[in-house]
Structure 1
Amino acid sequence: MIKYALKRFGASVIVMFLASLLLYFLVTHSGDPLSDLRESNDPNREMLMQRRIDFMNLDQPWFLRYLSWLGGVAGCFVGQCDLGTTRNGVQVSDLLANAASSTLRLVVLATVLAIIIGIAVGIVTAIRQYSGLDYAITFLTFLFFSLPVFWAAVLLKEYIGIAYNDWLRYPQMNWVGVGVIALILGLALQAAMGGNLKRRLMTGIGTAIFFFLAVLVMNNFNLFMKPSMGPFGIGIWVLAAAVAVGATALVAGIRNKQVLVPALVTAGIGIISYYATFTLLEEPNWFLIVGLFVLAIVIAVVVARLLGGWNKGAATSVSVVTAIFTSIFILADHIFRAWEGFLRLKPRPISTIGSQTPNFAGNFWEDFLDKGMQMLLPTILLTIISIATYSRYTRASMLEVSQQDYIRTARSKGLNERSVILKHAFRNTLIPITTIVAFDFAGLIGGALVTERVFGWKGMGELFQTGLQEIDPIPVMAFFLITGTAAVFFNLIADLMYAVLDPRIRL
């Protein structure tokens, strides 16, 4: 495998070199970088032109400028990275750091959500092939995939951004609207759950009643303005236990005590840690949060190894999932507590332009909420557009795999449907999906140009576009360096993952 990886790396270096040479040539010959100054009536025009010539080294042939840029990139391997300057004399490395940070914040969460939701939807529709649910989801996924990004962004701004900000002035739900939403949710969930008529009716009615009562409680206790996990974090107790039980039922079956007990113990330790770390998390930093998150996973693994018996693998998976979700619930409690103070600083919380509020002065959680609200609309947009790809590929792969001989053999051996789907079919389904995920991550690092422009984010896409418009190859090459390296790296990761997912594949 090491020999294969080195061989691929060498080939990738050659491809990157040739592609960078071609790109540099095309950008430098795409126009005149001095055209705006040649048409200027500024009395200092000659001085401005000479300064730009000096910044861009326009007195040298294009290939010497390329070699100079390539030498600066090579210096990155010895800690002396120099990616050059823009035509205005600004260091590209500084611009790149800000652009990459902005883009990663924008696309990573959307991509992860799209992968999780898309794969889950694909599995469900494959299991319920040609049902009403399958047809409905197929229609919606293709509808979302076909949406023009700029048009969908305007709708999100109008109906989620502006309308929600207006609603917060008097955050009460219209009961007719609540009833309609409850009915839609009940119909959707009963269609997803399936079963006989009695089960579907109970599911639909129960969901509608639960939603209606939940909104009633939120209205009476003003939880839209002051959200809470309940007194003494009781909501965390319930949710952590629900995740432990649900994950156990999904992975190993609810009667498997060797998996259920470690999961519940992990949830209990998480609830205890909520009180133990409460003061620390009132004004934390990212190092503390990441450290506690890693510690929670380590504790979950230890608990599963000690209590999992012969079923340690499944116990570890379920306990880790329980620890992750319990940690998220604990953080959510602190975010809810900061919401009221955040609204005092920013009465209209959802912004439609920019990646953060200028001169925003709040504590850690209020600043987190500010950046989160800025990400909300573009994240929703990128997620709903990307879900279609993952759901359709997952559905097609699941349907293909379900016809294989080993799936029929697994069923004939008496394995329950959960084990057949998750342990046999789904793992083989991941092979084509791995390729899509790898290239999607690599592509999104390049930025979502239209989304960035509509929502006013200064990300990688904006850096690339500005470089092209100004006939300035240095920002374009910085963009290429990051996105090209990401494409090569994730492509290699995808190839290596094939051998992990399917032992029959050898590199």
Structure 2
Amino acid sequence: MLAYVIRRIFVSIPILIGSTILVFIMVKFSGDPLEGLKMRNPPPPRQTILNEEHRLRLDKPVWEQYWLWLKGLVLHGDFGPSVHGNINIGHELGDRLFVTLRLVVLSVLIALIFAVITGVVSAVKQYSATDYSFTFLGFLFLAMPSFWFAILLKSAGIAYNQATGTEAFFTIGEKSVLLTDDSGWGQFKDIAGHMVLPTISLALISYAAWSRFQRASMLEVLNSDYVRLARAKGLRSRQVLVRHALRTALIPLTTVTALDIAALLGGAVITEMVFQWHGLGDYLLRSIRDHDAYAMMGWLLVSAIIVIVFNLIADLLYSVLDPRIRYE
């Protein structure tokens, strides 16, 4: 198992390097990061522009800029200079990573729990009123664009707060600027309160597709020969469902979940924008607006590592769900 993990990590390195090269080239030709400085009125001194070009390594060839970025990252953990000279890209990514990860991880857990439950119930009670109800809800959430659903939730939260004269739902930011209770428990409650609406928004969109996939996978397993054999041997229905059918049916869902992590990160960008969170999504949008090449490279690297880690976890879970799978 350890050898397999090490092999996967080494295989992922060329993928990371190739993706950073592609993004670096596209970003470099997308616009001038000093355009705002050059368009000022009155214009800044020529030497100021030259100093900024030197600081951002714009006075060097593109291949040398990439090599300096890669060497600084590997040897010193330096993500390169930002367009905003007072910002450290590494520290900024670290602070924002926790904000986005808590949203994505909690959304994945909630979506998986509800997808497995509703998918199994729909498969066991195929073509019943329960199955049709879950199918309707699944297609309803599947048809909703993530940005539109997030806006609906935010508007509903604001309307409820105004109608009740309370602040039951937090609709702006990942935490409050001013806290009445700054203890550890108070900070935890404040962060949890701000996570309610964004998490629901991101989780239900993922749940819709995963529940349909789990239903189809469960139906296929329930009609397989080994499940019929287990029933013929006199095993209890609950034992057949949980130990024999569900474990096998979870394998395709594990694959789909790992593949959808990249889409979830994209959905998190939209969700953070709607609820005005200062996470990786907000940082990406600001970097694109400012043509901040090294900030975008840092975002890509962090996101790619998250996707690779989730896919590695999914591969390792295969051996847990199916004893026949072994990584030697």
Shared fold per TM-score greater than 0.5: yes
Displacement of 1:429 in angstroms is 0.7
| SS of residue matched to 1:504 | coil
Query: Larger deviation: 402-411 or 461-470?
Result: 461-470
- The correspondence for 2:159, drawn from 157, 163, 169, is 163
- Aligned pairs for 1:91-490 (under 5 A) are 91-159=88-156, 161-169=157-165, 347-362=166-181, 363-441=183-261, 443-445=263-265, 448-490=268-310
Q: Distance in 2 between matches of 1:3 and 1:384?
A: 37
| More displaced stretch, 371-380 vs 432-441 | 432-441
Change in CA separation of 1:422 and 1:45 when aligned onto 2, cut-off 3 Å: farther
Letter in 2 for 1:7: R
SS of structure 2 residue aligned to 1:465: helix
Per-residue deviation at 1:352? Answer: 1.3
Partner of 2:8: 8
**Within 2, Cα distance between the matches of 1:386 and 1:112?**
10
Root-mean-square deviation (Å)? 2.0
Q: What is the TM-score when the length of structure 1 is the normalising length?
A: 0.61
Post-superposition shift, 1:5? 3.1
Q: For the Cα contact (< 8 Å) 2:272–2:278, is it kept in 1?
A: yes
Instruction: Give the Cα separation in 2 of the matches to 1:409 and 1:29.
Output: 62
Contact kept, 8 Å, 1:443 with 1:487, in 2: the verdict is no
1:356-409 CA distances to partner (integer Å, 9 max, x unpaired)? 111224133232222222111111111211111221111011000011111011
Q: Look up the SS of the partner of 1:448 in the other structure.
A: helix
* Code of the aligned partner of 1:50: L
In 1, the alpha carbon distance for the partners of 2:257 and 2:45 equals 50
Quote the offset at 1:50 in angstroms: 3.4
Larger Rg: 1
C-alpha distance in 2, partners of 1:101/1:382? 17
- After superposition, the C-alpha distances for 1:232-256 in whole angstroms (9 at most, x for unaligned) are xxxxxxxxxxxxxxxxxxxxxxxxx
1:209-240: CA deviations, max 9, x gaps? Answer: xxxxxxxxxxxxxxxxxxxxxxxxxxxxxxxx
Change in 2 beyond 3 A, CA 1:99/1:116: same
Q: 1:235 maps to which residue?
A: none
Structure 2 portions without partners, runs of 5+? none
CA distance, structure 2, for counterparts of residue 440 and residue 463 of structure 1: 21
Residue of structure 1 equivalent to 2:72: 72
The Cα offsets for residues 108-161 of structure 1, whole Å up to 9 and x where unpaired, read as: 2121111101111100000011112111211111111111223222321232x1
Question: Equivalent residue of 1:40, what SS?
Answer: coil
Equivalent position amino acid for 1:383 in 2? A
> How far apart in 2 are the matches of 1:382 and 1:45?
48
Query: Is residue 81 of structure 1 aligned with residue 87 of structure 2?
Result: no
What TM-score do you get using the length of structure 2 for normalisation?
0.92
Read off the aligned partner of 2:173 and give its amino acid letter: G
CA gap of 1:432–1:45, structure 2 versus 1, over 3 A, is: farther
Secondary structure at the counterpart of residue 245 of structure 2: helix
Q: One-letter code of the match for 1:390?
A: W
Give distance in 1, aligned partners of 2:199 and 2:123: 26
- Relative distance call for 1:348 and 1:7 in structure 2 (3 A) is closer
- Tell me the distance in 2 between the aligned counterparts of 1:395 and 1:14: 37
Mapped to 1, the partners of 2:207 and 2:232 lie a distance apart of 34
Separation in 2 of the partners of 1:395 and 1:56?
Answer: 52
Match of residue 238 from structure 1: none
Change over 3 Å in CA distance of 1:473–1:432 after alignment to 2: same
Q: 1:158 to 1:486 in 2, by over 3 A?
A: closer
Query: For residue 103 of structure 2, what is the amino acid of its counterpart?
Result: L
- Cα drift, residue 433 of structure 1: 1.2
* Contact 1:150-1:454 within 8 A present in 2 as well: yes
Cα contact 1:110–1:379 (8 A) shared by 2: yes
Q: How far is the alpha carbon of 1:490 from its aligned partner?
A: 2.2
Judge conservation of contact 1:349–1:370 (CA < 8 Å) in 2. Answer: no
Q: Distance in 1 between matches of 2:277 and 2:99?
A: 7
Q: Partner residue of 2:311?
A: 491
Q: Which runs of 5+ in 1 are unaligned?
A: 170-346
